[in-house]
Amino acid sequence: MESYLKENFEVEPKNPTEEALKKWRSAVWLVKNPRRRFRMVADLAKRAAAEKKRRKIQEKIRIALYVQKAALQFIDSANRTERKLSEEVIQAGYDIEPEDLAYIVRSHNNKTYDFHGGLHGLARKVKVSLRDGVLSDDIPKRQQIFGYNQFVEKPQRPLWMFIWDALQDMTLIILMMCAVISVGVGIATEGWPKGMYDGLGIILCILLVVVVTAVSDYKQSLQFKDLDKEKKNIIIQVTRDGTRKKVSIYDLVVGDIVHLSIGDQVPADGVFIDGYSLSIDESSLSGESEPINIDKKKPFLLSGTKVQDGSGKMLVTSVGMKTEWGRLMVTLSEGGDDETPLQVKLNGVATIIGKIGLAFAVLTFFVLTSRFILVKFIRGEMGKWRMNDGLELLNYFAIAVTILVVAVPEGLPLAVTLSLAFAMKKLMNDRALVRHLSACETMGSATCICTDKTGTLTTNHMVVTRLWAAGDTKDIKTKEKLKSSISEKVLTVLLQSVFLNTNSEIVKDDTGKTSIIGSPTETALLEFGLLFQNNYTQEAKNVKIVKVEPFNSVKKKMSVLVSLSNGKLRAFCKGASEIILNMCDKVINEDGEVVQMSDKQQKAITDVINGFACEALRTICLAFKDIETGSTSDDSNSNNNDIPESNYTVIAVVGIKDPVRPGVKEAVKTCLDAGIMVRMVTGDNINTAKAIAKECGILTADGLAIDGPTFREKSDEQLKEIIPRLQVMARSLPLDKHKLVTFLRNELKEVVAVTGDGTNDAPALHEADIGLAMGIAGTEVAKENADVVIMDDNFKTIVVVARWGRSVYINIQKFVQFQLTVNVVALMTNFVSACTSGSAPLTAVQLLWVNMIMDTLGALALATEPPHDGLMKRPPIGRDVNFITKVMWRNIIGQSIYQLIVLGILQFNGKKLLNLNGPDSTAVLNTMIFNTFVFCQVFNEINSRDMEKINVIKGMFDSWVFMIVMVCTVTFQIIIVELLGTFASTIPLSGNLWLASILMGAVSLPVGVVLKYIPVESSTPSHDGYEPLPRGPELA
């Protein structure tokens, strides 16, 4: 079975090939209900059509943006007059029609832009202040006139459509036809109402199956809809009511002033207000990979594009479906998401079992019909055919079809979807947003987590605690003591460096409370600066910003060029201490004078940096350089205004405390116990990284810590030697992270999860088996390339995702074990009985009820079990392990043998054992067999809660879904036997027979205990497909 599955039903969890997707589709056979089975499977034809449509739209956009249709636009703009305003727009107080406003950016036409008065003209027409932004009170009015920033989405499918889908089951349709014929023939032969009971019972049971199935599918679809909306929700920084705020992308309106920085997605169409070195990647919209530089001459920004470099502000001119991105978004969701490896594998299992079931169904019908004809032949009645004979044959056909209903486990692939939907919802509550379904599965196999330090292992609440300036190291305790120990000249240039060289903003809320919007490092520096100077705007008033180079993870520094009040230019630079120190050849002394830096002074500063780092402090070096000659021209691209890269003067080195998050040490230990290696990959100083790694329990005595430059110099052979011991990589570039992930996956065959927050982390996130983006610190580009977004940036949440990943895999294995046991017993019981006695003890209605127990209700009970702590005491699931393990086969075969023995004894010797006499003894015996069979499944479902541990009751009462399913199954079984005998062909049982049924079912529990003492081959992976944990020093 496994070799067949690997050959035909194997797909990659990430970016599977079109060939693999087509291969398994062609291998699937005997699908009862394609509409339901493939509801959560990508529609390749629809996807191809959507891709074609998307490319057409992209081509149109590309032509509009780059070819510009110059002649046509020239004619258009020459003849263009302002459109007459509608009554609605006039009453709202605006001076431009929404269509005119949208056309300006969409056409990229400067003449139309100038026709409307440029930036300030547009701001006047949409009634917004470029300084204070939109007023909150105006938002409903703007949404009414200019629209909402939401895209047209497919409406949620109503419940009746899911009921219709469930009714498309081929076998159920055949059964309904049989039931209708049965009603007609029954009434004709047995009269009204007795003749209709058998057929009506089948119809009612089919309706029950359909409704339960449809409700389960409908609830899943609602969960996916909510998660999908959350995936698309982006938090944007805007200026409103004169202050900078964070708002949801859905709340953005025309007139909003949006702040953009590296890695952001442009949330709507708009025009450039101001900024520095703003570079936009428009490939998602136009297909063009070359970035576009945005300035006042090329001011148009399109929704859906990404900020590749720089920063800036934009005025929103159109939102939602009035943007080109809105039109494109409609095509992006067409065709659905790729199916997960488990879904594909279980489609394969369902195909194999379906073929076996079909053979049994055909054989059962053949044996029953042959015996019936043989009996008629022996009695010499071959020439006499009555209406009852036709009804008997129809009943045989219905039983054969019902066997097929039970045999084809349609619920197997759908159980994966159910389990994943449940896991995704629970993970959302645990602050993890799953973007790709397959990530839930793959995380259960993760053998290595490459994690960032800042914000993931640490709290990201940074505070400056140490300062080195003018040759002296100081603790930041009291403002007065610190101020008295620094000369006025040193303090002046230090505060200039803090307040001018920053990408953050100090804002006041409605209550007048000061807060800082920006990165945690910048926030810590600004809070430090505010200790000395409350009037933080004073520095900015006397200078003019000429050029800004925002921080990025490659250069590891941020620079700014300013024009001082005396007309001179000064450059400020801050960043990774060693890098900035190497750019400096001078230092400020205690008197505030700039002096040449000696080798001794450089070594002293290096010792300070290492000292701070060994105390687990993040070190930032601040420097400046006065430029005697230069231009202060507005042309920020001028070569005269390039920010220098050398000959700076060291101002200070600050040590920033970023405490380790509570619970991280325990979470790392949990990972090590679970066979998951944790590696820290950070841009910080190696001493800081080592100190934090030791505190977290990542760096062990025999572990290795290296820096990025050293790592880059190593050959592949050297990497093979060092990477198994590598626990910390410091001063790493995004390319180092990508190289490490690729090497771990391709050479060492590890299943790698990697965290990332910056734009440059996107390749590593994309390459990893599981990409984990940070929800708070992460850029939109990082999130878009990730499989899971960690909403609270906490390492503990990553461990929770790993637990759920393992839980999904194990839950599906439990369900498969349970369902295969029911399949084997139901098929063999009816087949053997048909061969020996010429009748089937389980009727069509009873088999339909059993099908619901093992399919929809079984999936609900077993596939939604929450994870337990024991899951993280096992090693990861191997890449190529058999899905149906020897442990599962042992349990399936053992339980099936027990149940078949019990049902066989009842079938052939039940009347004598149970002392059944009288005319209804056969009906009582068949009811007893049905009741015992159902209770065997109820107790076997409890058995399936754990495939290896003896105590299967532990935690059962905490799983409310499992308990509800158990109670409902038992309650409805009582109703079927005691009250619905007319439809279900049952007879009410005495108390003793009920007790006997329950006890025979309950014996499944001790049978399960005995089975678990039977050893399986140790050469195969133990623990349901898990490989044994390494012991001793190699575990570290």
- Which residues form the catalytic set? 452
3-state secondary structure 776-833: CCCCHHHHHHCCEEECCCCHHHHHHHHHHHHHHHHHHHHHHHHHHHHHHHHHHHHHHH
Output b/e per residue, 378-413; b: 16+ Cβ within 10 A. Answer: eeeeeeeeeeeeebebbbbbbbbbbbbbbbbbbbbb
**Torsion angle defined by CA atoms of residues 577, 579, 583 and 588, in that order, rounded to the nearest 10 degrees:** 0
Between the alpha carbon of residue 271 and those of residues 67, 303, 671, 843, 934, the distances in Å are 20, 11, 48, 72, 68
* SS3 category, 753: strand
Distance CA 25, CA 45 (A): 12
Amino acid at 319: V
Distance CA 1009, CA 1000 (A): 15
DSSP state of 979: T
Q: CB under 8 Å to 734, separation ≥6 — which residues?
A: 553, 554, 756, 758, 760, 761, 763, 764
Token representation of residue 675? 């066979």
* SS3 category, 1013: coil
Q: Which helix (H) or strand (E) holds 668?
A: helix 664-673
877 backbone dihedrals φ, ψ, rounded to 5°:
-70, 130
Number of H helices and number of E strands within the chain?
A: 42, 26
The angle formed by the CA atoms of residues 242, 245 and 251, to the nearest 5 degrees, is 105
User: Based on the number of CB atoms within 10 Å of its own CB, is 825 exposed (0-12), middle (13-18) or buried (19 or more)?
Assistant: buried
3-state secondary structure 358-407: HHHHHHHHHHHHHHHHHHHHHCCCCCCCCHHHHHHHHHHHHHHHHHHHHH
* Cβ-contact 200, 180 below 8 angstroms: no
249 backbone dihedrals φ, ψ, rounded to 5°:
-60, -30
Q: CB under 8 Å to 998, separation ≥6 — which residues?
A: 935
For strands 594-596 and 677-681, give the pairing: unpaired
**Count of residues in the chain:** 1036
Amino acid at 702: D
Distance CA 608, CA 614 (A): 10
Say which residue the tokens 């009414």 belong to: 144
Distance CA 679, CA 693 (A): 9
Token representation of residue 979? 């009250």
**Other CB atoms within 10 Å distance of the CB of residue 906:** 23
Distance CA 832, CA 654 (A): 82
Token representation of residue 365? 């019908």
Token representation of residue 696? 């977290």
19 backbone dihedrals φ, ψ, rounded to 5°:
-65, -45
Peptide bond into 193 cis (omega under 30): yes
Distance CA 807, CA 959 (A): 13
